[in-house]
Amino acid sequence: MKRVLVFVLAVTFTTAAAAEACAQTTSERAACKPDVFRLCAAKEIAAAALGDRAGIYACFRAHRHDLSPACDRVLKNHGY
């Protein structure tokens, strides 16, 4: 039970941090969150959870043509 709780907390924290890598508002995070988990590697998501967002940026650059239109708009709005 303790492992499950730790896992759930880690996933929750990682999800929030990864989505925040490129987005500032709740709606921007919601737009990019699915793309983070669909396109980026676990190590990039984990690094974002610890504050290193470079991997998420690199992932989004590498998969620019695969991003959802909503997330692509978020990136363009932030100059990426």
Task: Decide: 39 and 21 in contact? Cβ < 8 Å.
Answer: no
> For 37-50, what is each residue's pLDDT tens digit?
999 999 999 999 99
Give the position of tokens 């998969």.
63
Instruction: Note the pTM of the prediction, 2 decimals.
Output: 0.68
> For 49-80, what is each residue's pLDDT tens digit?
999 989 999 999 999 999 999 999 999 999 98
Phi then psi dihedrals of residue 40, to 5 deg: -100, 150
Residue 27, pLDDT above cutoff 80: yes
pLDDT at 9: 39
Please state the domain extents for the chain.
Answer: 2-77
pLDDT at 7: 39
pLDDT at 45: 94
